[in-house]
Amino acid sequence: MDYKKYVDKISPKPTYLKNYAFAFLFGGLICTIGQAINELYLRYTTLDKLDASGATSITLILIGAFLTGIGKYDLIGKRAGAGSSIPITGFANSIVSPAMEYKREGFVLGVGANLFKIAGPVLVYGIGSSIICGFLYYIFNLLF
């Protein structure tokens, strides 16, 4: 028990409030940038609201992938925590990061094989659950 007390004494204490604040601020900043991009698409292109939203998502994914590729998104993530991983830019980071780690092994066995290492299970379960929900919705509409 003395060792546990010693470890507790010298271990750094997590700064929860600071972490929450940074996650809130950085997540809000990413969402604000996304809203600004959406407004630019609506104002300066012929896209309607739905198409502008799709273009905004694609743009944010591109920005997240680019920042991951040049090594800056991880620096943002260290400070922002969940504020950088929950928005769609975090999804781009979760796809590009494993691919970047294995790029020395080539495009097929390195990048291609590891591209969806982290995001793959999320996609599989997301798509699978949406199919199940759609099927149940269809069945309930037939019965009721």
Q: Residue ranges per domain, the chain?
A: 2-101
List, for residues 39-68, the tens digit of each pLDDT value: 999 999 999 999 999 999 999 999 999 999
Q: Which amino acid is at 118?
A: I
| Per-residue model confidence (pLDDT) at position 1 | 63
SS3 content of the chain, % helix, strand, coil (to 5): 85, 0, 15
Residue 129 has pLDDT above 80, yes or no: yes
Q: Does pTM surpass 0.85?
A: no
Residue 95 has pLDDT above 70, yes or no: yes
- C-alpha closest to that of 120 among 141, 97, 86: 97
